[in-house]
Structure 1
Amino acid sequence: MSVQGFTAPGFEAVADAFARNFERYGEVGAAFAAYRDGEVLVDLWGGVADPGSGRPWRADTLQLVFSGAKGLTAACVLLLVQRGLLDLDAPAARYWPEFAAAGKERITVAEILSHQARLPGVREPFGTAELLDPRHMAGLLAAQAPSDDPRAGFVYHALTWGWLTGELVRRVDGRSVGALFAEEFAGPLGLDVWLGLPDEQHHRVATMLASPGVLETPGRPAETDPLRVLARNPLMAPDAPALWNSAAFRRAELPAVGAHVTARSMARFYACLARGGELDGVRVLKEDTVELARRELRCGVSPLWGSEMAYGAGYELRTGAALFGPPSQTFGHAGAWGSRHGAWPAERLGFSYAMNLARAELPDRRPLDLLAALHDATRTHR
């Protein structure tokens, strides 16, 4: 497998690590990129975008990054905070009156952003069409009572996070998250990043694949823990890959899990955040607004996963697992089963790893090895 793309002088070891992912970990198709300030340090791609047809991964291949979308949506929320349209400490019901129903009148915007809203799933039955309709799902959550399970105050809201934040954005701005991000971030920064993919771009998307252990096993014993049942992620169902790769899923503006991106553009987006919201003379956020992304709102051990979690205003922060690389001041957001996107503020650097093979193994060495090689190179070539 030949690695294509570019590495700046001194960053060749990153390309070596990228190639080893195919040799050691069965990578199918992937891209990795890093920007420091406005300079491209790494822009690599390789492998197969669609094993069925043999279509190779190209420079412009788009990849679904699941919860990598949360970092884009969080930026939209922070922009509205910056403009005085949202207050992180205010009850969400101030902007979305229906949300006050069933005892949710005190849940704040910050609690929603940091997975403390006690709404990790939707109790009302729904089908695929409803799942792909953010406004419908937001309406179900507005009517739902928060979980009274004491563990629910810090359970990852895999899908509901997006329906909650997306509705807040729509209520105060009028635009969907996809439209707001396109106009306020993607356009000014020149990003090939989409929340809601136009049909004419679908041919560029890599086919998402699931390795053993990613999906739920048919016939397994029924879950009996009510909180786990509530928090169940329908994107892990046995037939989920058909949904991931469907035109309907690509079109849907799912604020939590629906982004299609190039690693190059995600790295550029996070390089902008690493520089306090400005890149190449374009400012999309103020420095103190970006600081809200990094200010810890909650840290602790997930009661369902048993692993440490730390959140700022919508962004994952560094924990002992160092999922975003060795630097101490990292933030960003991972995508399910492998992808990783984030900022190293001290190094003024943004990075992104996107791939089309979902792996269940933890820790996933693919992004960790890439970030270790990138960190070594940046320390030597500042």
Structure 2
Amino acid sequence: MTTSHSAAAAGLPTGVHGTADPRFASAVTTFARFFAHRTTNGAALAVYQHGEPVVDIWAGSADAHGTPWTAETGAMIYSASKGVSATVLARLADRGLLDYSAPVAEYWPAFGANGKSRITVTELLSHRAGLSALPATTPAEVLDHELMEERLAAAKPDHLLGIPIYHALTIGWLMTGLARAITGHDMARLYRTEIAEPLGIDGIHLGTPPAGSPTHAADLVGSLKTLAERTIPTPVATLVPRLPHLLRDPLAALYVPGLESVFRGEHPAILATSLPAGNAVCTARALALMYSALACDGFVDGRRFLSANTVRELERIRTRQLDHTLLIPMWHLGFHSLPLPRAPRGYGHMGAFGSTGWTDPDSGLSVGFVHNRMSLGWSAIDQIFVVPLLHLILRAARHPAAEFAQPAAGAA
């Protein structure tokens, strides 16, 4: 792997910094097309193969002022946070503190209220707990994670109990409530003690990294950030509750009148709370390293992070039913399938605007992709950008490194 951080010396496209094995040139070039020379947004991509770093690149800007993105720049990864939160629970399960087949109420007695005593940890993590809809909530209450845990523990499951429907926000508080009941600690601390410290990294945080951390959170930038500075008109805000169930159920998992307010300002409130379903701030390198443990039977740098048995449990799809919101059978234990023709067993978690952590047990690959663009014009492309990127990474990974170490045929 090239070690120079000079783009020219490293053979990287202009505007891209870091290191990359030459086999992955097509993926690097594609990344550069979308993020090199950006003066208001940026991104990073990291790839591990069989536990070894093969790509660690970044480009663009960390804010609208043109501050360069660096190796230590992290971005809020939205729902890709769920994969980190699920890994926290996997660590607890690995030590025998959590049984996926047991009722949630066995660990968190308050959760057993209102007919929830038989819901298992597996059902909860595969989005079948009937708790996808947010209780009547204000934006300020969304930011109070302990309050949301208490409300969900007391809530009655809705008509979708047992049916997979994406618990877009509630799954984070449910995972935290479960983890807190077992350990006495919230997810912000567990991200550090169960993920970052055992991996020997800094670049995984819940919310804004603390003072003194080498990880710096990129600003949220783009047209949707600008729109968030305004208030959605009341007629629009009152429309959602009147929609038919087929449309209302998916929206109820996300919709809170006035929620746009948590994205406002230079220091948005969403980054000042614990939202384990959506506000992790990660570097691409750290995210890829965490998923590398799942690609390598639980090992990282020769140290065991998870047992092979626990990793096998994470790989299994838990329901083949179509998700009521996302319309594909996909749920693992807090992760979702993200299969490709070359990686049918691939899984991880994608977030809004496309930030993704992913692993493929067959090829030993893991990928972390993060960026800070929240743009209406780019949103459709950004959301699926990682899919062709993964295709290029998988194709490159099939070639032995030795093929690229020799001069090309006919070279002088």
TM-score, normalisation: structure 2: 0.82
Matched, 1:133 2:144: yes
Query: Following TM superposition, by how much is the alpha carbon of 1:362 offset from its aligned partner in structure 2, in angstroms?
Result: 6.3
In structure 2, the partner of 1:46 is: 59
Higher strand share: 1
1:232 aligned onto 2:254: yes
Question: What is the CA distance between 1:75 and its match in structure 2?
Answer: 1.2
Q: 5+ residue gaps in structure 1?
A: none
How far is 1:14 from its partner? Answer: 1.9
Q: Following TM superposition, by how much is the alpha carbon of 1:336 offset from its aligned partner in structure 2, in angstroms? A: 1.2
Hey, what does 1:194 align to over in structure 2?
205
Please identify, of 353-362 and 134-143, the stretch whose mean Cα deviation from structure 2 is larger. Answer: 353-362
The match for 2:239 is: 222
After TM superposition, give the deviation of residue 303 of structure 1 in Å. Answer: 2.5
Alignment equivalent of 2:134, drawn from 86, 106, 122:
122
- Indicate if the aligned counterparts of 2:38 and 2:61 stay in contact, CA closer than 8 A: no
Distance in 2 between residues matched to 1:274 and 1:203, nearest whole Å: 25
SS in 2 for 1:145: coil
In the aligned structure 1, how far is the partner of 2:278 from the partner of 2:144?
A: 13
1:351 aligns with 2:367: yes
| Residues 321-346 of structure 1: CA deviation (Å, up to 9, x unaligned) | x4xx8411211111112111111111
Find the residue that maps to 1:297 and give its secondary structure: coil
CA contact (8 A) 2:270 2:279 kept: yes
- Residue 58 (structure 1) aligned to one of 70, 86, 105: 70
* 2:194 matched residue in structure 1: 184
Give the corresponding residue for 2:98: 86
Q: Provide the C-alpha distance between the structure 2 equivalents of 1:181 and 1:365, rounded to a whole number of angstroms.
A: 27
Matched, 1:366 2:397: no
2:168: which partner in 1? 158
Of 342, 366, 382, the match for 2:358: 342
How many angstroms apart in 2 are the aligned matches of 1:349 and 1:228?
32
Q: How far off its partner does 1:212 sit?
A: 5.9
1:313 aligns with 2:333: yes
Instruction: Decide whether the 8 Å contact of 2:101 with 2:120 is kept in 1.
Output: yes
Deviations 1:268-288 (A, max 9, x none): 111111001111111111001
* Separation of aligned partners in 1, 2:216 and 2:167: 29
2:16 is aligned with 1:3: yes
- 1:235-314 maps to which residues of 2 (within 5 A)? 237-242=259-264, 246=267, 248-305=269-326, 307-314=327-334
* Whole-Å separation in 2 of the counterparts to 1:24 and 1:182: 33
CA distance 1:374–1:165, change in 2 (3 Å): same
Question: Aligned with 2:379: secondary structure?
Answer: coil
Q: Is residue 61–residue 204 contact of structure 1 (8 Å, CA) maintained in 2?
A: yes
Q: Aligned partner of 2:194: which letter?
A: E
Q: 2:11 maps to what in 1? A: none
Give 3-state SS (helix, strand or coil) of 1:34's partner. strand
* Helix, strand or coil at the partner of 2:44: strand
Q: What is the count of residue pairs matched by the alignment?
A: 373
AA aligned to 1:38 is G
Computed over aligned residues only, the root mean square deviation of the Cα atoms, in angstroms, reads: 2.8
| Identical-pair percentage | 33
Q: Does 1:375 align with 2:394?
A: yes
Distance in 2 of aligned mates of 1:293 and 1:238: 34
Change (3 A) 1:376 1:149: closer
Aligned partner of 2:123 among 81, 99, 111 = 111
Given that 1:119 and 1:160 are in contact with CA atoms closer than 8 Å, whether structure 2 keeps it comes out as: yes
Partner-residue secondary structure (3-state), 1:381: coil
Q: Partners of 2:166 and 2:26 in 1: how far apart?
A: 35
**How far did 1:86 drift?**
1.6
Shift of residue 121, structure 1, vs aligned partner: 2.4
Deviations 1:58-103 (A, max 9, x none): 1211110011111111111112222222221211111111111111
Note closer, same or farther for the CA distance 1:212–1:69 as it changes in structure 2 (3 Å cut).
closer
CA gap 1:103/1:66 in 2 versus in 1, 3 angstroms: same
Distance in 1 between residues matched to 2:250 and 2:321, nearest whole Å: 18
The 8 Å contact of residues 63 and 221 in structure 2, kept in 1 or not, is answered as no
Q: Which residue of 1 is the match for residue 6 of structure 2?
A: none
Q: Return the alpha-carbon distance in structure 1 between the equivalents of residues 283 and 77 of structure 2.
A: 10
**Structure of greater Rg:** 2
Secondary structure at the aligned position of 2:73 is classed as coil
Shift of the 115–247 alpha-carbon distance from structure 1 to 2, 3 Å rule, reads same
CA distance in 1, matches of 2:100, 2:257: 29
CA displacement, residues 95-142 of structure 1 (integer Å, 9 cap, x when unaligned)? 1111111111111111110100010122233332x3222221010111
Task: Give the distance between the partners of 1:248 and 1:170, measured in 2 at CA.
Answer: 23
Residues of 2 paired with 1:372 and 1:211: CA distance?
29
1:147 is matched with which residue? 158
- The answer to whether residue 53 in structure 2 is matched with residue 18 in structure 1 is no
The 1-side partners of 2:37 and 2:217 are apart by: 25
How many angstroms apart in 2 are the aligned matches of 1:235 and 1:276? 44
